[in-house]
Structure 1
């Protein structure tokens, strides 16, 4: 039976000793990244024509590095190899002109993580055994019972919580029953997706949560500004005992509260997108969507926030892998002129302002809803391209 890789995310509840271990491992991974990057930069500075040290070469350097810095032995050894792999991939992307130059990692970054390839085991209900950490309390271990874990990642995010992300190997989902239906989808802002059948799916909106997130964002900015002023005044008046920004906890509480509201919004949006895409894959055998360059569209500052909230990229990504899993077909077409062409007679009526939501074809007299007409044209394009 075919196998596919799937991601599962669990909440971690480490004790104080395990928290100290986690932060030591976060720091060790960051240290290895910075050391390898510094050596690569120094080697290029001394001899620009020299060959780049690849992943195998960096792994060879790990042994002398551990001898020089014994604290690196506190890490899962595979996590340091993953650091080298990620750095080598960053340089490969740089050489292909698909990414920027790798940067040094800071210990002041709010989000911290490390990844390993060692064996993780479920040892009891809501208990897992992780390399170097031993038995640790988690959530919902039933989701990974009996599955082969390929790699694991432990994250600390801006909400102050720890998460365990697992890449597991599972049997490929069964193909869904064929319905014989085909649909074209036009994405928008007020409505996330408009189908060629005339159905409009609303964009996710959580007004109350957004208001709370904005409110706590303001509190965070104000409290941090006050703490910064207080630190400067204290350090100016006291030459021996210096204060630091982290000594003022009030702004950090606001940061965590703000981050938790933002995470709740993100989680609810993701849940909405999962339910919507699953429903579409169950209903239709062929789904045609437009190939939009979201990053380019976000250069329009009037629409950037609304486009980001709509999450077009996540919507397309979910449709892609769910169609592949369940034996359905996803066709991606270029969106050129789809809102300007009459879906009834094919007459090209020319560009229209965004404010124009309905129009009548001057050739055949058909009255169109702009979005539904675009979705029908997208469907026609996809069926023509797919044969």
Structure 2
């Protein structure tokens, strides 16, 4: 995705079933939990490293936290078995970890102090997944990845399956084979409406080029002779 020169993002409304709504909520809750768990581990690690006396118990805990943060996808899942539920999207976990690390880096480089804040439980729901393409796919597009368009009204999402959508720009539907899908955000707003946001990339510009009108002169014969 990053190596492609043109990028574009858009959001469409989706209409999940009751079972799909429950799956969205579970993945949203798990994403928030992983983010907060990593924040808690980092805060505890920072506080323990302030202890100057070489207490063995403290040193062991520091090693445990460092190991868990080194490979959080495994470390956190081993400590909280419910995260291994097959109904949860594994790419949701990877994106939650990536988002926390990005937030941590921003706090350290921009604010130069503190840590990211914990995500509170809210009415809104949100989590991120990613579109993967099989190695055998020679020309990745919007119709042959793990996230793909089935037709002009339906999209396939990991762990959710087939969903009806509405609102995709016609210019994208006309260029499906030449556009790659990257990060995908599934969300529900405070009014209970569900959306999918897709980050796209392409070798060609997403701006529609309109043909310019030819600047030609037109002669009119008024036929004023009697």
Instruction: Please give the TM-score of this superposition, normalised by the length of structure 2.
Output: 0.67
Q: Comparing both structures, which one devotes a greater share of its residues to helix?
A: 1
The Cα offsets for residues 362-381 of structure 1, whole Å up to 9 and x where unpaired, read as xxxxxxxxxxxxxxxxxxxx
Give the CA RMSD over aligned residues.
3.0
CA contact (8 A) 2:153 2:164 kept: yes
Name which of 97, 101, 113 aligns with 2:115: 101
Q: 1:33 aligns with which of 29, 32, 35?
A: 35
Q: Give the equivalent residue in structure 1 for 2:49.
A: 47
Alpha carbons 2:39, 2:115 under 8 Å: kept: no
Secondary structure of the residue that 2:150 maps to in structure 1? strand
Q: Which runs of 5+ in 2 are unaligned?
A: 52-61, 132-145, 213-226
Look up the match of 2:124. 111
4+ long deviations beyond 4 Å: 174-178
Map of 1:10 onto structure 2: 12
C-alpha contact 2:8 2:200 (8 A) present in aligned 1: yes
Deviations 1:207-226 (A, max 9, x none): xxxxxxxxxxxxxxxxxxxx
Which residue of structure 2 lines up, in the alignment, with residue 345 of structure 1?
A: none
Q: TM-score, normalised by structure 1?
A: 0.40
Paired residues in the alignment total: 174
Structure 1: gaps (5+ residues): 179-387
SS in 2 for 1:125: coil
Q: 1:161 to 1:10 in 2, by over 3 A?
A: same
| Maintained 8 Å contact 2:69/2:75 | no
Cα deviation, residue 136, structure 1? 1.2
Could you report, residue by residue, the CA deviation over 1:132-176 in whole angstroms, capped at 9, with x for unpaired residues? Answer: 111111114563533210110011112221110000113124778
Which of 163, 167, 170 is residue 199 of structure 2 equivalent to?
A: 167
Equivalent residue number for residue 136 of structure 1:
163
Structure of larger gyration radius: 1
Say whether the 8 Å CA contact 1:121–1:129 is kept in structure 2: yes
Post-superposition offset of 1:37: 0.6
